[in-house]
Amino acid sequence: MIIDLANTTTRKIQDALTASRHRMGGPATGKVLTLIVVTDEAAQYDAIRASAEVAREHPCRILGVITRGRDADPRFDAEVRVGETGPGETVLLRLYGQLADHADSVVLPLLVPDTPLVTWWPGTAPATPGEEALGALAQRRVTDSAGGADPLDTLKRLAAGYRPGDTDFAWARITPWRSLLAAALDQPHDDITAVRVEAEGDNSSAALLGGWLSVRLGVPAEVSPSPGPGITAVRMSTKTGDIAVTRPDGRVATLSRPDQPDRQVALHRRSTAELLAEELRRLDPDEVYHEAVERFAKGLEAAGKPAPAPQEQVKAAKPKAKKS
């Protein structure tokens, strides 16, 4: 069901949501969070579509906030979609004039009560997400440093403006890489002395991967350009040779270790919906991301302090409740 409300109020939107729920006989609750998507007219279709896909895993109310002509009189239009694309509800809000600066006043009455709130900027990331009106409200602020011009510079800005709860898609993009690298080091290995990440130029994911490896391993990391696509290799040097994961084609990765046969595994690049779903799975601050982005901002060349000493680490890392 799609309800168009031109020049409307939040009260009318609430009424429309309630009425459509009654008409469809659906339950009033069941939504686990509110997702605010801050976007523009050109990008809204893809962003809302990805959100709706994610709503299957995380039933939520999606509020798309779209800024329109700033010279117009302040008013807003709403498009309410219920039961069209999945279990959640979607409200597209088009804000005109000065109202763009007061988007929070429109959004506040429409949040699902007493549940977490996530704000996502699929396009150009704001300077300091945590200080944006729509960001300060949220537990979790998701940006995409690769969504605008100059990803590396954006990432530096995000590092400087970091508040607990910030994360970036560039980080979610490398979870499969990190998982594979961590699995590689689950096996006995020699001490790692240096790390090199090879990636297409200006790749903020590669920068974060370098930052993470540098923090965790306590060694200098280097990001060097390659023809791509995306990240093509990670090489961790040990005294007996490199432990390397290479992915020249963006699809299949090869894990090579000294004195062992090469092993291959599919390592595909992830879709927007997959990235967003991962972001919504945990809503607490991502401290590991913070460390990685901070290390990147300070420069990857310095070795820095190694990860916590093995004794305490092993104890803490020993999986206790493997329930997830």
Nearest to 65 by CA among 95, 105, 97: 95
Q: Are the CB atoms for 181 and 284 separated by under 8 Å?
A: no
Write out the residues near other proteins by the rule CB under 8 A: 27, 30, 56-59, 87, 172, 175-176, 178-189, 213, 216-218, 251-255, 257, 260-268, 277-278, 282, 284, 286-288, 306-307, 310, 313-314, 316-324
Q: Which is nearer to other proteins, 140 or 257 (CB)?
A: 257
Q: Which is nearer to other proteins, 207 or 267 (CB)?
A: 267
Q: Which is nearer to other proteins, 267 or 297 (CB)?
A: 267
Using left for φ > 0, alpha for ψ between -120 and 50, and beta otherwise, residue 304 falls in left
Locus of tokens 């370098």: 210
Shortest reach from residue 77's CB to other proteins, in Å:
29
Q: Which is nearer to other proteins, 11 or 322 (CB)?
A: 322
Query: Edge to edge, what strands does the sheet with 241-246 contain?
Result: 221-225, 192-199, 231-238, 241-246, 252-256, 263-266
Q: Which is nearer to other proteins, 113 or 261 (CB)?
A: 261
Shortest reach from residue 323's CB to other proteins, in Å:
6
Q: Which is nearer to other proteins, 123 or 250 (CB)?
A: 250
What does the alpha-carbon distance between residue 67 and residue 70 come to, in Å, rounded to a whole number? 8
Shortest reach from residue 66's CB to other proteins, in Å:
26
Q: Which is nearer to other proteins, 80 or 277 (CB)?
A: 277
Nearest to 213 by CA among 227, 226, 229, 199: 199
Q: Which is nearer to other proteins, 66 or 267 (CB)?
A: 267
Shortest reach from residue 310's CB to other proteins, in Å:
4
For the chain, where are the E strands, in sequence order? 2-5, 33-39, 60-67, 75-82, 89-96, 117-120, 140-143, 166-168, 192-199, 221-225, 231-238, 241-246, 252-256, 263-266
What does the alpha-carbon distance between residue 196 and residue 300 come to, in Å, rounded to a whole number? 10
Q: Which residues contact 156 (CB under 8 A, 6 or more apart)?
A: 296, 297
Structure tokens at 203: 């790749």
Shortest reach from residue 150's CB to other proteins, in Å:
26
Shortest reach from residue 102's CB to other proteins, in Å:
33
Q: Distance of CA 230 to CAs 19, 158, 263, 267, Å?
A: 47, 21, 21, 12
Shortest reach from residue 311's CB to other proteins, in Å:
9
What does the alpha-carbon distance between residue 25 and residue 51 come to, in Å, rounded to a whole number? 23
Shortest reach from residue 103's CB to other proteins, in Å:
28
